[in-house]
Amino acid sequence: MRNPLSKKIYRRMLLRDLFFGRLHSWILLLLYALLWKVLFTITKIGQLKTNVPLFMVIGAGLLFLLIYQVNLYRKQMKKAYLYNPDNYLEVHGSILEIYSSAEGRRHTLLLDDLIRLKENKQWYFLYFGDKTFFPILKSSNLSIDRLEKSKPLPFTVWMVVPALLLLITAFGVYNVGKNAVNFNGAQAWKLNELKTDTKIRLDNDDFFTAKLEGVMEDVKEKMDMEPNLMTNDLEIEFDRDGTITSIYMYLYGYDDEHLLQSGYLIYSEKPAGNKVTVHKQDWEGEGTETYNPANDFSIVINMLDNIDLEADIKNWEANHFGVLYKGIRNWGGNHEGIVYLDENGEHSFPAVSDWGIAGPSVSLYVPGKEEQITPIRYVYKPSSTIN
């Protein structure tokens, strides 16, 4: 009997059976769904240390099964005698004989090795122990009725796996994509960080020698900043040997016309202070913080350049220190810890009669011991204002 099974028809049947008609299909589908679930968790809440390895394990399992299925497909497609439309089939006892006129050879399949037999309206599907998959057209009238067959599978059952595959894909793409935009999940923040954050390693983390100027030189090597900068929030902590342990400051960047263009949040990466992240915020001239030349960032840099931090902390019984700048401050008549500092680095102390002490102020202090150890408060006082 002839079995008009072409290569195209055989390929379609084999692929459908491998990916949608076997137990492996459901395992693949389950792993695929789990992969989307873990990816959703990553984009929603992060937890990368746990979820990334889990994602990789599931992905590896999915890839292994896919490779296994593809290898089965390739092995079956190499058996050209199975799908030549001019083949003749005969059954002799427990032997299924295939005569290939193209090859001029006879091939035999042992029906005793048959592990499963399924059927639909047109075809019998024979599965052998060596993974051979062989469809036989029912109209060939081959005498295999004596073999036990599985019940025909309705078309809707065949379509369950591909339908679920499409549904899982659509649902996964929608929810993962939703997490990645409008700051709906951790992934959205990570994507935003890629656009707005710059990681910088400081060449010198010794605050005694690098000063604030050295920190900013490292930052400006990596970033283009506006010509006019200003801050009202700066805090740097360091150990007794000068090693920077933390940095936090926010800078406003103004163009030549003193319009606010950008904001820069600069903070250290824990646990050390020799790595900083610069988060850039675009104001595009619409910010509300007005530029004040009396509070220009260059004044703060100049002040810290002219403060001998190492000498000033020598008599303090502590191992950790900090400098704090909160912009122009008015100390009124409080002289405690006040030291005037001019643009040339000259130090002086307020007169008894000074009751309106105000100006850009850098405080040197011991964190957590401000009440026990009085901070030194350096107040910028240009030499032209000193009587």
Could you report the per-residue pLDDT of 86-102, keeping only the tens digit for each? 888 888 878 888 887 77
Point out which residues pair with 230 in neighbouring strands.
252, 296
Question: How confident is the model over 15-44, as pLDDT tens digits?
Answer: 888 887 777 778 888 888 998 888 877 776
Question: How confident is the model over 214-273, as pLDDT tens digits?
Answer: 999 999 999 999 999 999 999 999 999 999 999 999 999 999 999 999 999 999 877 666
Round the average pLDDT of the chain to a whole number and report it.
84
Alpha-carbon distance values, 377 to 126, 208, 275, 341 (Å): 90, 18, 28, 10
- Residues of the chain above pLDDT 70, percent: 87
DSSP conformation class of 264: E
Given a cut of 60, is residue 157 above it in pLDDT?
no
Question: How confident is the model over 107-135, as pLDDT tens digits?
Answer: 888 888 888 888 777 888 888 888 899 88
Question: How confident is the model over 281-312, as pLDDT tens digits?
Answer: 888 878 788 999 999 999 999 999 999 999 99
Alpha-carbon distance values, 49 to 46, 53, 55 (Å): 9, 7, 11
Element (H, E) at 300: helix 297-305
What distance in Å separates the CA atoms of residue 118 and residue 199, rounded to the nearest whole number? 61
Please tell me the predicted confidence (pLDDT) of residue 185: 45
Q: What number is the average pLDDT over the span 350-372? A: 92
What distance in Å separates the CA atoms of residue 183 and residue 198, rounded to the nearest whole number? 19
Residue 205 has a CB neighbour count (10 Å cut-off) of: 22
- Residues of the chain above pLDDT 90, percent: 39
What distance in Å separates the CA atoms of residue 323 and residue 273, rounded to the nearest whole number? 14
The band of 331, judged by pLDDT with boundaries at 50, 70 and 90, is very high
Ranges of beta strands (E only) in the chain are 88-92, 95-100, 105-110, 114-119, 123-128, 133-137, 197-201, 228-239, 244-254, 260-268, 275-282, 320-332, 338-341, 347-348, 357-365, 376-380
Question: How confident is the model over 194-210, as pLDDT tens digits?
Answer: 566 888 999 999 999 99
Spatial CB neighbours of 53, under 8 Å, sequence gap ≥ 6 = none
Alpha-carbon distance values, 8 to 125, 127, 185, 206 (Å): 16, 19, 46, 73
Delimit the domains of the chain by residue range.
Answer: 7-175, 200-385
Please tell me the predicted confidence (pLDDT) of residue 219: 94
